[in-house]
Amino acid sequence: MSQPQAEALRQPLSLRLTSGVFLVIWMLIAAFPLFWITVMSFKLPVDSFAANPLSVIFGPDTRAEVGGLSPLDIVLGIVGIYFAIRFARHLAALARMVSIAGQAWLGWIVAVLIYTIAVLVFFVGIVPAVSAGLRDALGGGFLLDPILGATLTHYYSVWVENTFYHQFINSLIVTAGVVLISLTVGTLAAYAIARTGSSIAFWLLIAALIFRALPHSVLVAGYLPPFVNSREILMPLWESGAVGWFFQLFGDEPPTLYGRHWAVIIVLVSINQPFTIWMLRSFFMSIPAELDEAARVDGCSHFQAFRRVIIPVMWPGVITTGLFSFLLAYNDYLVTSLLLDAQSQTMVPAISGYFNRETTTTDQVEAVAAAVSIIAPLFILIMVFQRQIVSGLTAGAVKG
Amino acid sequence: MLRTLLLASAGTLLTTSAALADCAFENELPLSSLSAGFEAWYAVTDAMAECGNFEAELDQEFRTKQPTGFAADPSLYHIGGVANGTLVPLLNDGTIRPLNDLVEQYGQQLTPNQLITIDGDIMAIAMMVNSQHLMYRQDIFDELGLEVPTTYDEMLQTAAAIQEAGVVDYPIGGTFRTGWNLAMEFINMYLGHGGQLFNADKTPSINNEAGVAALERMRALTEYMDPEYLGSDSTYVQQQFQQGDIAMAVLWASRAGAMDDPAESQVVDLVTMAAAPSAVEGAPPASTVWWDGIVIAENISDEEAAAAFQVAMEGMDAEMVQANNDAAIWLIDGYEPNRLSEGAIANLMGGTPPYPASTEMGLMHTALGDNLSDFLIGAESAEQALADAEEAYLTAARESGLVQ
Amino acid sequence: MKRSTFFAFVAPSVVLMLVFMAAPLVSVLIQSFYLTQNVFEEVTVESCTPGFPNPVCTEEIQSRRVLDENGIPVTETSFVGWETYRVLLQPEAVAEAFSVGGGGVSALLDIDFYKAARFTITFTLITLPFVIGVGLLIALAVNNAIRSLRGPVIFISLLPFIITPVIGALSIRWLFVGDGILTAALEGILNEDIAVFAHGWAFEILMMFYRVWHVAPFAFVIFYAGLQTVNQDTLESAIVDGASRFERLRYVIIPHLMPLIVFVALIHLMDAYRAFDEVIGFRSEAHRITLQWLTFNFLTPDDSGNRAISRASAASMLTMLGIVILLIPPLWRTWRDHRGR
């Protein structure tokens, strides 16, 4: 690069400053509401709904009632968070290390479990123990006396007393099901659409686009009555001769779809199909068609070509699309709240139960704690997959 | 930490097994219930769960789910928690069963007040009553030397005096949230003015002097409220009380207990209950009486119905009431009225009418809730808002076949 | 690719979309032309409810649904043509509003459907440039930042996009509701009593703010990814030609990003048009409603347990019509690209 060009590219201080200031303001706006609900969730009700922001942050009432964090705790906590973030970036490496029998996904599950347990043990176990031990030994002092009121009681009520882990497991099932099925079905369709010039493919895409635009409340309203009455509706299928024998393999009686995870998974997969197809199609378009044509010349069928040539190179696009499917399934409120019952409910509709409960302020803070619990896994998710999101999009998924 | 957790779970196990022994009826069949999610229902369903094999679903959106859930065959729920208003859809669909035989066999301890009878058939068993009544800050009233208002005119004068003294942010709180709550306030006020909601042929008759007077009175009240009143529901008003932001409100009796909850209230022992004010001098309190209770589904086997009824009776026994005396104004034997129930009892003594639940009332309640806020925010005249509500009611009534 | 192979690949996806999206849609279209009514009979009923000290028994004439011999309510379904659409659109009221002495636009906006349509459309169109503009600005600013800082900056920027929408809307609402801390701060600065949620326009601004806050990160990631692939040669020759920084942005970078801008605009149009979470999260029913909320409200059983299925169907078909009109320009572009290929 020649001298004048480099000079032209170098930015004047004023521009760098403006851009820096803008970024700082944006980050404040982006993070503040979330930071604030996190702070609220650690206070007793009187503090969390106080009008004075300082008493929300320092929680005088909480400190007086149950204690809180000392400067030492805070320092330890910040160090802990720093390492937790640093370490999250290396989860992929850990996953490879512990992967069992070459199964990458098992490795991931184990890695995430180890990570979560390590973080929990550090923050809930080690830090309070160290600080309490020191306080007992030294009898207090500025660094050891609590200055920031904080309490875990709401988290304790949510997770232990109200057994929120049931909902957490339900969310895991629904989300995992949606991501797996929607990627499997979606890659096949998107690949075929990307590799054909026929008009059907075009009209399929347009239809998908229109389906993507459908207001979900319309669809869900259509589902509710058949889901509730599915046993009656499906009975003829079970009772008719040959077909009935086939269906009876699945169970003696037709199922009630309402409240079943797999029924909701199928619905969410369908709702998610248009977006999946569009994302993956443009991604496949960026993979040169010569690749699979070469494989076809070597005598592979379309499916073999897909398996041997495309699958190995498609992961960046699939991971990006998978993340979007994950977000849709994990964050969904409308479908899950209408089609699941109390026992099978996922986390997001479950918190609205707290808000709508006509009772106490404590419930509201518990709802805030539940809300923070719901977004915590999303934090970890971005920390781990941030690079894949950006690189997956760069790799061509957005050329559409 | 781990040790505390283990101890805690061991403790839970112990209490569960002890509680199981509390239930006189050992339930074998898997049963489930769907009800609203306020404190009283938690108490009752927890007591039911002691009989085993029982899953409770407490959902504030139960109104949406209940008719569909009970219409399924087999019904998705065995026991339903209902109130006056929410009983109507189930009655209409014929999805709940008469309880006469079951009451005769297993329900000797029930008082006549608990039997909700329609044409000689017992269709529901009530457990508590609820009503909107006046709650006020005793300390502020004492300090300023104010009388407890018995009419809305007096309430407005009192509010002016409190505002003058400047002791709280807003003198009055109100459950004016658009939708169900706002419609409820109007119905209270309109019935208090002696208004009739319907003509004989089920057409609406609210656009009249009483309707305009009720709306004007409501707007006068909003002058003393937090200006965000159109988003304020019972929980919000309760919080305003607890944080010491308001001095009085007409609020549900089921909320009274929260005022004395030291964990979240800054006004423990300072809130006193009284009858709801009258709309006009000498009239009964401008409020309505509600009851909450249970129904049993039609589309289940008789054995399941018998088991469900017995489980429900265990949930509504005297022991439960003694353990949760302040959670509601119970109708069940063993309830001890106290300071917090004075308002509700004063309402009942004053001749407050029951909420006039019926099919057309359901449509009217919804129509009112969707249309009255335009008047309060000043976008429309009172007559126009009432005309809009009548129009919305007629559209819905024609669509459902109620009015030709 | 052979036609049969093609169908084998797309079959699972197409079946899912047919069963769970096309079929409900068709049934909604049909329902919008039919009306299902209950059959009522008038009966005199004696009913008893709790009183003090004794139960109150009243005898009154009540409307009750007629049940058949199986105990299932009798209903009558009839074809009503465009009647439901007429009830929804109220052409007579519209004509009256714009005739001499009518209420004009304000009378028009008193009708729920037009009220919802007005807000939905302004909401969609006003947020669109902000989402693209803010997204682009963040992308440019991040691209400008020191490399080592980009990771954390991207992380924080993505937060509003990935967190659950209902929780996001609530977290913003809590800052302003009642004496929420931002309201309290504003009150401190302006030294007067402010109630943010007492004004329709405040709802409107906050709902739009929330939407931009939520979607701008999505636009940002896409644009940021696009910025990484800007052709350096073109950029350099633009510098040689003496193009200023702004001109380079205007004539090189934006055209390069154009397909991405169209993509983001398309996604945003579709999503903003069916705005729903905002109404629930901000509780704005009294002041501002959206078209999808209107449908949802018709579908929610009223206090008599009726769902206004016909009106909901008609409202959703009209909503569909709106989205198709909004989508025609970008679809037209795609069609031309497809033909040209």
Q: Are residues C73 and B362, on separate chains, in Cβ contact within 8 Å? A: no
C59 or A8, which is more confident: C59
pLDDT of the residue at A182 = 93
Q: What percent of chain A has pLDDT over 90?
A: 10
pLDDT of the residue at A320 = 82
Highest-scoring range by mean pLDDT, A26-40, A307-321, A333-347, C53-67: A26-40
A203 Cβ contact list (under 8 Å, min separation 6) = none
pLDDT of the residue at C76 = 84
At A138, the amino acid letter reads L
Residue C309: name the closest of C319, C320, C321, C295 by CA: C295
Neighbours of chain B (3+ CB pairs under 8 A): A, C
pLDDT of the residue at A393 = 66
CA dihedral C295→C297→C303→C306, nearest 10 degrees, is: 10
State the average pLDDT over residues C166-173.
85
B54-58 and B79-83 strand pairing:
unpaired
Which segments within B276-370 are labelled E, that is strand? 289-296, 329-330
pLDDT of the residue at B42 = 87
Comparing CB atoms, the residue among C21, C171, C185 nearest residue A214 is: C21
> B368: buried, middle or exposed (CB in 10 Å: 19+, 13-18, 0-12)?
buried
- pLDDT above 70 for C84: yes
Q: Are residues A219 and C24, on separate chains, in Cβ contact within 8 Å? A: yes
Query: Does C72 touch chain A if contact means CB atoms closer than 8 Å?
Result: no
Comparing CB atoms, the residue among B58, B254, B264 nearest residue A362 is: B264
pLDDT of the residue at B69 = 83
pLDDT of the residue at B126 = 92
Find the helix packing angle between A127-138 and A71-88, rounded to 10°: 160
Residue B239: name the closest of C174, A155, C191, A33 by CA: C174
C121 Cβ contact list (under 8 Å, min separation 6) = C322
Query: Does A28 touch chain C if contact means CB atoms closer than 8 Å?
Result: no
Query: Does A349 touch chain B if contact means CB atoms closer than 8 Å?
Result: no
Q: CB–CB of A41/A155 below 8 Å? A: yes
> Minimum mean pLDDT among A267-271, A354-358, A374-378, B154-158: which range?
A354-358
- pLDDT above 80 for A66: no
Distance of alpha carbon B10 from alpha carbon C45, whole angstroms: 54
3-state secondary structure of B260: coil
Q: Are residues B388 and C311, on separate chains, in Cβ contact within 8 Å? A: no
CATH fold of A163-400, please? MetI-like fold (1.10.3720)
Q: CB–CB of C204/C288 below 8 Å? A: yes
pLDDT confidence tier of residue B4, bands split at 50, 70 and 90: very low
How confident is the model over B358-367, as pLDDT tens digits? 888 988 998 9
Q: Which helix (H) or strand (E) holds B379?
A: none
pLDDT of the residue at B56 = 87
pLDDT confidence tier of residue B139, bands split at 50, 70 and 90: very high
Comparing CB atoms, the residue among A49, A128, A232 nearest residue B243 is: A49
Rounded to a whole number of angstroms, the distance from the CA of A382 to the nearest CA of chain B is: 30
Strand partners, B329: B129
Phi, psi values for residue A357, rounded to 5°: -55, 125
pLDDT of the residue at B2 = 36
pLDDT of the residue at C138 = 93
Among C49, C61, C62, C69, which would you mutate to test the B interface (most chain B Cβ atoms within 10 Å of its Cβ)? C49
pLDDT of the residue at B10 = 37
How confident is the model over B100-137, as pLDDT tens digits? 999 999 988 888 889 988 888 899 999 999 999 999 99
B178 Cβ contact list (under 8 Å, min separation 6) = B230, B231, B369, B370, B373, C285, C286
Highest-scoring range by mean pLDDT, A26-30, C110-114, C154-158, C176-180: A26-30
Q: Would you say residue C157 lies in a domain?
A: yes
Query: Does B374 touch chain C if contact means CB atoms closer than 8 Å?
Result: yes
Q: CB–CB of B264/B202 below 8 Å? A: no
pLDDT confidence tier of residue B51, bands split at 50, 70 and 90: confident
A215 or C86, which is more confident: C86
CA angle B391, B395, B396 (to 5 degrees): 120
For chain C, the domain total comes to 1
Q: What percent of chain A has pLDDT over 70?
A: 88
- pLDDT above 70 for B3: no
pLDDT of the residue at B15 = 38
State the average pLDDT over residues B184-212.
92
Query: Does B56 touch chain A if contact means CB atoms closer than 8 Å?
Result: yes
Structural domains of chain B ordered from first start? 10-128+291-338 (3.40.190.10), 131-288+348-400 (3.40.190.10)
pLDDT of the residue at B246 = 93
pLDDT of the residue at A8 = 54
CA B344 to chain centre: 12
pLDDT confidence tier of residue B247, bands split at 50, 70 and 90: very high
Q: Would you say residue C6 lies in a domain?
A: no
Query: Does A120 touch chain B if contact means CB atoms closer than 8 Å?
Result: no
How confident is the model over B66-95, as pLDDT tens digits? 888 888 878 889 999 998 888 888 888 889
- pLDDT above 60 for C145: yes
- pLDDT above 50 for C154: yes
Q: Which of residues 293-312 of C touch B (CB under 8 A)?
A: 297, 300-306, 308, 310-311
pLDDT of the residue at A9 = 59
Neighbours of chain A (3+ CB pairs under 8 A): B, C
Tokens 């919305």 belong to: B392
Distance of alpha carbon A134 from alpha carbon A156, whole angstroms: 25
State the average pLDDT over residues A339-358.
74
pLDDT of the residue at C341 = 53
Query: Does C24 touch chain A if contact means CB atoms closer than 8 Å?
Result: yes
A-C interface: how many C-beta pairs under 8 angstroms?
A: 249
pLDDT of the residue at A359 = 59
Segments forming the whole domain that contains residue C232: 127-340
Strand partners, B290: B130
pLDDT of the residue at B84 = 85
B307 or A285, which is more confident: B307
- pLDDT above 50 for B12: no
Q: Which of residues 64-93 of B touch C (CB under 8 A)?
A: 64, 67, 84-86, 88-93
Q: Would you say residue C219 lies in a domain?
A: yes
Strand partners, B173: B249
Q: Would you say residue C159 lies in a domain?
A: yes
Q: Would you say residue C175 lies in a domain?
A: yes
Rounded to a whole number of angstroms, the distance from the CA of C301 to the nearest CA of chain A is: 11
The two three-digit tokens of residue C219, written as one number: 């636009």
> Minimum mean pLDDT among A270-279, B367-376, C166-175: which range?
C166-175
C75-79 and C56-65 strand pairing:
unpaired
pLDDT of the residue at B104 = 92
Query: Does C22 touch chain A if contact means CB atoms closer than 8 Å?
Result: yes
3-state secondary structure of C296: helix
Q: Which of residues 41-80 of C touch B (CB under 8 A)?
A: 43, 45-57, 62-65, 67, 71-73, 76
> Minimum mean pLDDT among A116-125, A272-281, B31-40, B41-50: which range?
A116-125
Q: Are residues C341 and A197, on separate chains, in Cβ contact within 8 Å? A: yes
Q: Would you say residue C316 lies in a domain?
A: yes
- pLDDT above 70 for B16: no
pLDDT of the residue at B141 = 94
Highest-scoring range by mean pLDDT, A135-144, A276-285, A376-385, B281-290: B281-290
State the average pLDDT over residues A140-149.
72
- pLDDT above 50 for C52: yes
- pLDDT above 80 for C264: yes
Q: How far apart are the first and last CA of chain A?
A: 32
Mean pLDDT for chain A overall: 80
H-only helix segments in B193-338: 209-222, 234-242, 256-259, 302-315, 318-323
How confident is the model over B342-386, as pLDDT tens digits? 999 899 888 888 898 888 898 899 899 988 988 998 888 999 999
How confident is the model over C302-320, as pLDDT tens digits? 777 777 888 888 888 888 8
Q: What is the pTM of this model?
A: 0.83
What CATH number is attached to the domain comprising C247? 1.10.3720.10
Distance of alpha carbon A187 from alpha carbon C90, whole angstroms: 46
Residue C213: name the closest of C130, C137, C125, C273 by CA: C130
pLDDT of the residue at B309 = 94
Q: Would you say residue C47 lies in a domain?
A: no
Comparing CB atoms, the residue among B1, B61, B243 nearest residue A124 is: B1
Closest residue of chain B to C306, computed from CA coordinates: B400
| Sign, CA torsion A257/A261/A266/A270 | positive
